[in-house]
Structure 1
Amino acid sequence: MSAPTESNRHRSPRRKGPVELRRDQAHGSTADSRLLDSRNGGDFTHTDPWRVMRIQSEFVEGFGALANVGPAVSVFGSARTKPGSIHYEMGVEVGRRLAEAGIGVITGGGPGSMEAANRGACEAGGLSVGLGIELPFEQGMNDWVDLGINFRYFFARKTMFVKYAQGFIVLPGGLGTLDELFEAMVLVQTHKVTSFPIVLIGKDFWGPLLEWISSRLVADGLVSSKDLNIVALADSAEEAVNMMLAGGVTGRR
């Protein structure tokens, strides 16, 4: 960066909220003048400061809507799971068993395994929550969601999954499911959350992944062997829900 020139060295600084602007940065309109200027139309809604307000509103709306959900478990799985398939029926049973234990079900609100878990909870008379996300390919909230919130930002949505759940049950899924699983594992590993059971359903599906982590990451010293204890494997909905209960998740009394 070049040194200040004589012409701008003595230019008066300008305050912009908590920011102080000097020299060439001090030029420009004020916040009030931009607010009252109608020539820019809706351009301001695409600025980063405005996005911060949107992000804030997503957290406020999410916290307000979910504050009283009570004990709940987040259930993850593929949106591509077909109704009637083994994994779909497993999701329905997971949702039903959680509801029967007095535990709410939180999913991503979409189709597939998410719909299945919401359906099981709803049919069993339990709380069925969906946290949707804005995507370029529209999914929409499934019909089995009783309390639904749609988010623009993944990170705001992910916060809700963790803040209002006492554990995760993970059905077979793709990249989105893996993203949610590994984020949960990191939060437990770094002690950002405590007493947070994570159960993977499907030993044949998840076993090879855990074996790779063990044989490659642990063997190369990139992961501690004790980190594998963060997750547990189950082969049935009954086993998975029982692991949740044994891990400290307590239903409504």
Structure 2
Amino acid sequence: MVNPDIEIETLAEFDQVAARGSLSGYRIQSVNLLERTFALLAADTSTAVFLGCPMEPDAAAKVRADGALVFPPVPDLPFNPYRGLLYTPEELFTGLRDGYEATPDAEAYAWFQETKSDGDVFSSMLRSVHDDAISDALDEHLAGARVVGVMGGHAMARGGTHYRGAAELGRALTRSGLTVATGGGPGAMEAANLGAYLAPAPDEALAEALELLAKAPSFAPSVSEWAGAAFAVRERWPAGGDSVGIPTWFYGHEPPNAFAGHIAKYFANATREDGLLARSTAGVVFLPGAAGTVQEIFDNATPNYYESRGEPAPMVLVGRAHWTEHLPAWPLLQALARGRAMESRIALVDSVDEVPDALASMS
């Protein structure tokens, strides 16, 4: 008999299930069980799977004898490939006071740089296991949510009018009941996550936050100062709204922003891009950007073009001059959409103020 929910990702969940006397068939992800030896010895653990769970040697021997599969923790890694939950900004930026280079985020990027081309199947396997665990955690976190993706360029500096507009958009979408998801990096992505974070705060909080952030307008030359300014905003308004950031160590020179409440960080950029767009079921907003944003437009358009059983998710491009003259993606998108189900699900607007109404008209 298959359990309806077989994943255990916290010690509290483990205690609840173990108290019933059987862990058979469960998947226990990255739970420290060093102090749960008695529970492991007493419970039926047949067909259970333990992924990166520290346990005492006698407990490990017992569960293996029961027929459980045990994948032990991997030593000397700057990340946990078996993690069951998404990252938080506090976790990725631990140690920021000693400089960004000392944080888990920077250390994971350094490991990736060292191993991405070494041909070691073990390294590539660890990256794949990690990314699959992140996808699983992301699906669980977003279950039942109405997700709208906000895409845009990483070069958008804090303090500018475009940054403010992206923040106002993130705030408006969050206040309307949608969950904002971005690529999780700096620029337009950070701005949208910032707006979502400040959604519960009074309107005037955004102007004050923008002043604080403008002291470090870019992550170059100092990621430490850039991230420090973000955490100063978080300290000023500690009860922020939630949103999701989905960055990648493939572009690890661009740090994740600290305003996404939950961060799904990947090693494989293709997995990250596809996952972000596929999970944006309430629509995708494309702010002015360059090559990466253009790629995302047509990555999103492709499944919409072939959709035949339901309605494609809405696509809204912001910035008429940008998408018709500077980078004319809109005419090509229109040509693709003509005669397809997606034709009534695409829109071009002049400003972010028009986005909520455009999405509502297509929902």
TM-score (norm 2): 0.50
Q: CA deviation at 1:153?
A: 1.2
Q: Which residue is equivalent to 1:14?
A: none
- The count of residues paired between Structure 1 and Structure 2 equals 199
- Alignment of 1:236 onto 2:321: no
Change (3 A) 1:194 1:211: closer
Q: Which residue is equivalent to 1:57?
A: 133
| CA distance in 1 between partners of 2:151 and 2:190 (Å) | 10
| CA distance in 2 between partners of 1:134 and 1:196 (Å) | 28
Q: CA deviation at 1:51?
A: 5.7
Q: Which runs of 4+ in 1 moved over 4 A?
A: 49-52
Of 300, 317, 324 in structure 2, the residue corresponding to residue 184 of structure 1 is 300
Q: CA deviation at 1:245?
A: 1.4
| SS of residue paired to 1:106 | strand
Q: Which residue is equivalent to 1:147?
A: 262
How high is the sequence identity, in percent, across the aligned residues?
A: 28
What letter matches 1:45 in structure 2?
F
- Aligned-residue Cα RMSD (Å) equals 2.7
Change (3 A) 1:210 1:80: closer
Of 191, 213, 223 in structure 1, the residue corresponding to residue 332 of structure 2 is 213
| CA distance in 2 between partners of 1:51 and 1:186 (Å) | 27
Q: Which residue is equivalent to 1:251?
A: none
Q: Which residue is equivalent to 2:98?
A: none
| CA distance in 1 between partners of 2:362 and 2:276 (Å) | 18
Q: Which residue is equivalent to 1:199?
A: 316
Contact (CA 8 Å) 1:131, 1:148: kept in 2 or not?
A: yes
Change (3 A) 1:86 1:75: same
Q: CA deviation at 1:138?
A: 2.1
Q: Structure 2: any 5+ residue segments left out of the alignment?
A: 1-118, 201-240
Q: Structure 1: any 5+ residue segments left out of the alignment?
A: 1-41, 249-253
| CA distance in 2 between partners of 1:113 and 1:46 (Å) | 32
Give per-residue Cα distances to partners, 1:91-150, cap 9 Å, x unaligned: 011101101211111001111000110111110134321011113542222121111111
Higher Cα radius of gyration? 1
What letter matches 1:198 in structure 2?
M
Change (3 A) 1:201 1:128: same
Give per-residue Cα distances to partners, 1:211-249, cap 9 Å, x unaligned: 6538xx95xxxx46446835311112221111111211x
Change (3 A) 1:50 1:142: closer
- Once the two structures are overlaid, the 10-residue window that deviates more, 141-150 or 193-202, is 193-202
Contact (CA 8 Å) 1:99, 1:105: kept in 2 or not?
A: yes
Q: Which residue is equivalent to 2:195?
A: 120
Q: CA deviation at 1:64?
A: 2.9
Contact (CA 8 Å) 1:72, 1:106: kept in 2 or not?
A: yes
| CA distance in 2 between partners of 1:98 and 1:54 (Å) | 30
Change (3 A) 1:212 1:104: closer
- Once the two structures are overlaid, the 10-residue window that deviates more, 155-164 or 168-177, is 155-164
| SS of residue paired to 2:246 | strand
- Structure with greater strand share of residues: 1
Contact (CA 8 Å) 2:181, 2:246: kept in 1 or not?
A: yes
Give per-residue Cα distances to partners, 1:150-194, cap 9 Å, x unaligned: 111123223432343210011001111111111111111111773
What letter matches 1:132 in structure 2?
P
| CA distance in 1 between partners of 2:251 and 2:322 (Å) | 29
What letter matches 2:319 in structure 1?
G
Change (3 A) 1:43 1:123: same
| SS of residue paired to 1:150 | coil
| CA distance in 1 between partners of 2:158 and 2:183 (Å) | 17
| CA distance in 1 between partners of 2:339 and 2:168 (Å) | 31
Change (3 A) 1:238 1:196: same
| SS of residue paired to 1:182 | helix
Contact (CA 8 Å) 1:195, 1:247: kept in 2 or not?
A: no
Change (3 A) 1:212 1:124: closer
